[in-house]
Amino acid sequence: MTNTTLVQTANSAETSENSLKKPLLGVNIDHVATLRQARGVSYPSPLAAALLCEKAGADGITIHLREDRRHIQDADVYDIAEQLTTRMNLEMAATTEMLEIAGKVKPFWVCLVPEKRAELTTEGGLDVSSQIPWLTDYIAKLQAVGIKVSLFIDPEDKQIAAAVSCGADAIELHTGAYAEASLASDVDKMNDELTRIRQAVRTAQDANSSMLINAGHGLTRDNVKEIAQIDGIYELNIGHALIADAIFVGLEQAVVMMKSAMHQIV
Ligand code: PXP
């Protein structure tokens, strides 16, 4: 599939898919590559995983090309972009190297994230407010070649205002603190974090009604419902817990189960 076809498919998908006002599911398949890289072999294939997720109802596929290439490799990005029928969300740091790669791959979305070499996963949101000039220019360069840009931020007013001022097409609210509280069964903290995320959604809607609002990080079948029910959330990006479920039930069933948990079918 050509890049132009990809964008056309994604545009038509975007208008129809979310018409039920239920959040879409973007599946992050980085950990399929983590398993492959652990042995330095050619399996399991992130491409095959992406296609299976789509077949099972994923609305998009997220991959993070990290500077240290610890899981997804450059060839994965190109192979997956070539064959996806939904949308690729390419997570990356706002570096010159990644700008060049994104310009060649032309994913539907780029999500800019902070990156630290020593971290196990993306730890906090991007500090947009301290780098507005750099990010404004960076985002404009991506948008100039037809890529929509999302910024992964903590649910804070300061970061939301900065994302709007940089011209981002979307924000992705970091749900990590909520997810950690849920794993610790800390109900008070969960409720505080839910309030913070709900308030952030309202703030973002008030600041720019055309900016899409996504959320993700640490979401599981047990804690996703409360986030999925927040009015105004467009898409949830979920990886680790879904891939973990897949070990027991298979990838397609894991996608179906996550969508059910999001949409309260079971
Ligand atoms: N969104 C962003 C921006 C991320 O960096 C990650 C982790 O790669 C996720 C969502 C998915 O988080 P998890 O793997 O914990 O579901």
Q: Lowest mean pLDDT of 38-47, 97-106, 117-126, 211-220, name the range.
A: 117-126
| Residue from 24, 25, 27, 28 whose mutation best tests the ligand 1 pocket (most atoms within 8 A of CB) | 28
CA of 31 to the centre of ligand 1 (A): 10
User: What digits encode the pLDDT tens for the residues 196-222?
Assistant: 999 999 999 999 889 999 999 999 999
Q: Is 119 a residue of the active site?
A: no
Higher pLDDT residue, 21 or 138?
138
pLDDT over threshold 60, residue 6? no
Instruction: Decide if pLDDT at 2 tops 90.
Output: no
End-to-end CA distance of the chain: 36
pTM: 0.91
- Listed in order, strand segments (DSSP E) in the chain are 24-28, 60-64, 88-92, 109-112, 148-153, 170-174, 212-216, 235-238
Q: How many CA atoms does the CB half-sphere of 44 hold within 13 Å?
A: 17
Q: Is the CB of 245 under 6 A from ligand 1?
A: no
Residue 21 has what pLDDT? 72
Q: What single-letter amino acid sits at 97?
A: E
pLDDT digits (tens, 9 = 90+) for 114-128: 987 667 766 789 999
- Catalytic, out of 156, 174, 217, 235: 217
pLDDT of residue 15: 43
Q: Evaluate whether 89 touches 60 at the Cβ level (below 8 Å).
A: yes
Q: What are phi and psi of 185, to 5 degrees?
A: 55, 35
Using CA atoms, how far residue 93 sits from 96, 110, 111, 151, 207, in Å, is: 9, 10, 8, 10, 25
Distance of CA 126 to the CA centre of its chain: 13
Q: The dihedral of CA 155, 156, 159, 165: what is its sign?
A: positive
Verify whether residue 217 is a known catalytic residue.
yes
d(CA 184, CA 194): 15
91 in active site: yes
